[in-house]
Amino acid sequence: MAQKILLTGGAGFIGSHTYVALKNAGFDAVILDNFSNARRDVTDRLEVITGTPVTCIEGDVLSESLLDRIFADHDIAAVIHFAAQKAVGESVEKPLEYLNTNIAGLYALLRSMRRAEVFRLVFSSSATVYGQPDHLPVNETAGRSFNNPYGFTKLVCEQSLEQIAASDDRWAFGVLRYFNPVGAHETGLIGEDPNDIPNNLVPYIAKVATGELARLSVWGNDYDTPDGTGIRDYIHVMDLAKGHVQSLDALLTSGAGHVVNLGTGTGYSVLEVLQAYERACGHTLPYRIAPRRAGDVACVYGDTRLAKQILGFKAELGLDEMCASSWNWVARRKNT
């Protein structure tokens, strides 16, 4: 029988794509989501993509009684924990909310898992834990730091998992440090759908492409990079989803915990991403050069060797595929 996986935050951007990848890999999945940053029609769309009914429980990961009930009702083999708040700027304004959702939310989940004797967890971490790395590509042994409350929560969660794993060898954690996830499922039925004006680059460019926003502000062109704009390691969300399945496979088969980067290993500048999006949507996109954004670093891209070695993970989709799939999603979304 298919093993059943609980996806907290499974209706969100990365969670919904991972749901599809899990079903394709033969897993069964249960979604828990409070829909604070996800559209309610995501579950209908997942049913269309997978051709099977979706089990989705609406609720909060902070509710231990709800979590206990889910573990009692379902034979869960492992958990993938996406449910968290993720906007860097908002975290500066509302640190307590971020500390509570991201750190207390993880603790509530771990307590409930322990009661249910489920000891396998894949955790959504972030390349934000590296700050501005001294060496590029950044590998998993690099020093960790934080620049804002969001980054602080990811670091505390990683360190908490280390303490817990060291104290009790029944636990096994897959800590996945995401670089910059973009793109959408090939059907264009699910994708990234920020509630407000997007903070992140590709969702913002997407809204310029649809005409909802007038122009992109490029936050700084005086960095020490070839064209002066910031460089990041963008990874297609379907590649990222695949990484979760591979992490889960490793936890469930060998029981070996791991901490790995999930990126492509290639960095692209803001202007290179803009040009790729222009190729995808077929027209030029207006932009202006604006001052640097507070807290931004010049250049980050990941060393991908450990993920390849431990999980067999390799990102296969490039920047043009990321932008084309994003455009397919937003253009469809606008017309439906």
Q: Per CB under 6 A, which region of 48-56, 158-166, 212-220, 249-257 contacts ligand UFG?
A: 212-220
Q: Which residues pair with 178 in a beta bridge?
A: 126, 262
Size of the site for ligand UFG (CB under 6 A): 21
Q: Are 269 and 229 in contact (CB under 8 A)?
A: yes
- Find the binder of ligand UFG among 49, 201, 208, 280 (CB under 6 A): 201
* Residue 204 interacts with ligand UFG (CB under 6 A): yes or no: yes
Q: Per CB under 6 A, which region of 1-9, 34-42, 168-176, 198-206 contacts ligand UFG?
A: 198-206
**Interacting positions 124-143 with ligand UFG (CB under 6 A):** 126-128
Length of the chain: 336
Per DSSP, the residues of 114-166 read: HHHT--EEEEEEEGGGGSS-SSSSB-TTS----SSHHHHHHHHHHHHHHHHHH
CA pair distance 270, 230, nearest whole angstrom = 6
CA pair distance 3, 22, nearest whole angstrom = 10
CA pair distance 181, 90, nearest whole angstrom = 19
Structure tokens given for 71: 């573990």
* Residue 236 interacts with ligand UFG (CB under 6 A): yes or no: no
* Active site positions, annotated: 150
Residue (35 or 146) nearer to ligand UFG, CB: 146
* Residue 296 interacts with ligand UFG (CB under 6 A): yes or no: yes
Residue (59 or 95) nearer to ligand UFG, CB: 95
**Interacting positions 107-126 with ligand UFG (CB under 6 A):** 126
* Residue 146 interacts with ligand UFG (CB under 6 A): yes or no: no
Residue (72 or 290) nearer to ligand UFG, CB: 290
- Whether a cis peptide bond, with omega within 30° of 0, leads into 137 is yes
- Find the binder of ligand UFG among 86, 185, 236, 242 (CB under 6 A): 86
CA pair distance 19, 25, nearest whole angstrom = 10
- Find the binder of ligand UFG among 218, 235, 271, 310 (CB under 6 A): 218
* Residue 240 interacts with ligand UFG (CB under 6 A): yes or no: no
Q: Which residue has the tokens 């599809």?
A: 20
* Residue 300 interacts with ligand UFG (CB under 6 A): yes or no: yes
Q: Which residue has the tokens 């990222």?
A: 240
- Please report how many Cα atoms fall inside a 13 Å half-sphere around the Cα of residue 211, on the Cβ side: 4
Q: Which residue is nearest to ligand UFG (CB)?
A: 230
- Find the binder of ligand UFG among 102, 180, 266, 328 (CB under 6 A): 180
- Find the binder of ligand UFG among 232, 236, 244, 258 (CB under 6 A): 232
Residue of 186, 207, 211, 210 whose CA lies nearest to 198: 207
Residue ranges in contact with ligand UFG by CB under 6 A: 86, 88, 126-128, 179-180, 199-201, 204, 216-219, 230, 232, 270, 293, 296, 300
